[in-house]
Amino acid sequence: MFENIRLSFQGIFSHKIRSFLTMLGIIIGIAAIIAIVSTIKGTQEQIKNNLIGSGNNTVTVTLKKGDDQIDYQWEGVPDGVPVITKDVKKQIEDVEQVQSCTVYRYRSYIDSLFYKNKMLDSGSVYGIDEDYLDTAGYQIERGKGFSPADYKGTSKVCLVDDTVVASVFGDVDPIGKILDIRGEPFTVLGVVTESTDFEPVINSIEDYWMYNQQSGGKIYIPSEAWPIIFSYDEPQNVIAKAVDTDSMTQAGKKTADILNETLSVNDDSGIKYKSEDLLDQAKSLQDLSSSTNNMLIWIASISLLVGGIGVMNIMLVSVTERTREIGLKKALGARRGRILMQFLTEASVLTSIGGLIGVAAGIGLAQVVSKMAEVPVAISTPAIIVSVLFSMVVGIVFGLIPSIKAARLNPIDALRYE
């Protein structure tokens, strides 16, 4: 085997230009496939990150009426929706796909929030428990967070985000200042910010409005202080943090199932807890992207077929050129199998070198495409391995006919060949 490989390299380097032109089809095909697969993989990661963020892995489970959020301000609190107890929360935390969870209340619009004579035009208020900040991916940027006593009592304290600071406080340090929330004074303890630096790519007005809904001014108060502002308790929502991104769908579904078991509402009311399955949305977009790009892979594979035909052609030429050499080897006792393996090895080595050069060219091409088209790329190791192995298979398949021809040569006729 090693002798065959040595002879293969000797034959390839003795005809460098011819060997390179033979490998060119393989190089172009492999490079195109590596570049396309890398771009597809990078685009899919971008789609996923645009929808669910980077490293957050949280699923929101909310109470809905059909497919719509319930507006408690106008519709009131529906009957048969109990408060989520610690035991129910423990059940959710025990789900295999769930790393942690938090229970919170939420109003998407505050109709009265002031600091002195400045009003927040739009914003939302959250009634949170002690696990909210860690689970939802927030951290204290300035000031301090709630104490255990704040979570258990009805302290009039709050946390705000940078949007509230910019809109209401301006250049004034908000720590220790009093916010008037629906006529109740709340002391600002700290400013929170997201733990990750993720920013979604906004390519359309729909993307803008989706992100704008998530990034308005936010005020956080202890959940026990919720009735101070709204006069009564409201149904809670849950954020479940999955152990990894791929577990998000199951984490959301199982959390919703546990919460729905606690409901005693009329079946016809359409009131149920539902998870916001952003991962499923991401997969739908990824499948749409992949179905288009897979066609490009098949088109690029045609060049591999052309390259294989080129290998077969040059190996037939090589057999013809080395007819006397083959006759001499057979006269000295070389068997058909030995001749067959020599030419198969040469074809495989030729295409394998082309495959390795194609991989390097593909990685470089992917980086060029990334820079020019401003799209992310993610180099796929399995694609590299499969490409190199496939190039070897091309060499074996298309080198088989010339090798068989060489092995079947009559030694007398071969020695007489001019």
Give me the tens of pLDDT residue by residue for the chain, a chain 418 residues long.
566 677 667 767 777 787 788 788 788 888 888 887 777 777 666 665 555 554 467 888 988 888 777 777 677 777 888 889 999 999 999 999 999 999 999 887 666 788 888 887 777 899 999 999 999 889 999 999 999 999 988 889 999 998 888 888 888 999 999 998 888 899 999 999 987 654 444 444 444 444 444 456 899 999 999 988 886 778 899 999 988 877 888 888 999 999 999 988 877 788 899 887 655 555 555 555 566 666 666 776 777 777 777 777 777 777 666 666 666 666 666 676 777 777 778 778 888 888 888 888 888 888 887 777 666 677 777 778 877 787 778 777 777 776 776 666 666 555 555 5
Q: How far apart are CA 341 and CA 347, in angstroms?
A: 10
DSSP reduced 3-state for 122: coil
Three-class DSSP category at 276: coil
What's the pLDDT at 208? 40
The pLDDT of residue 350 is 82
3-class DSSP state of 237 = strand
Predicted local confidence at residue 89, as pLDDT: 94
**What's the pLDDT at 289?**
57
Question: What pLDDT was estimated at residue 149?
Answer: 92
User: Are the C-beta atoms of residues 26 and 311 closer than 8 Å to each other?
Assistant: yes
State the first-to-last Cα distance of the chain, in angstroms, to the nearest integer: 29
pLDDT at 293: 63
Beta strands in 162-202 (DSSP E): 178-181, 184-194
Instruction: Name the DSSP class of 77.
Output: P
Q: How far apart are CA 218 and CA 163, in angstroms?
A: 7
3-state DSSP: the chain helix, strand, coil percent, rounded to 5? 60, 20, 25
Overall size of the chain counted in residues: 418
Q: Supply the pLDDT for residue 176.
A: 94
205, exposed or middle or buried, with CB in 10 Å at 0-12, 13-18, 19+? exposed
Q: Which two tokens stand for residue 125?
A: 């208020």
CA 263 to chain centre: 35
Q: Between the CA atoms of 304, 308, 311 and 313, what dihedral angle is there, to the nearest 10 degrees?
A: -130
pLDDT on residue 36: 79
Cβ atoms of 34 and 375 within 8 Å: the answer is: no
Strands 157-161 and 118-119: unpaired
Exposure of 392 by Cβ count < 10 A (0-12 exposed, 13-18 middle, 19+ buried)?
A: middle
Rounded to whole angstroms, the Cα distance separating 157 from 153 reads 11
Q: Measured between alpha carbons, how far is 325 from 346 in angstroms, rounded to an integer?
A: 15
Do 19 and 317 contact (CB within 8 A), yes or no? no
Distance CA 364, CA 182 (A): 59
For the record, the structure tokens of 180 come out as 């008037």
- The pLDDT of residue 190: 95
Of 30, 118, 33, 22, the closest CA to residue 315 belongs to 22
Given this model, what pLDDT does residue 206 score? 46
Residue 238 phi, psi dihedral angles, 5° rounding:
-130, 135
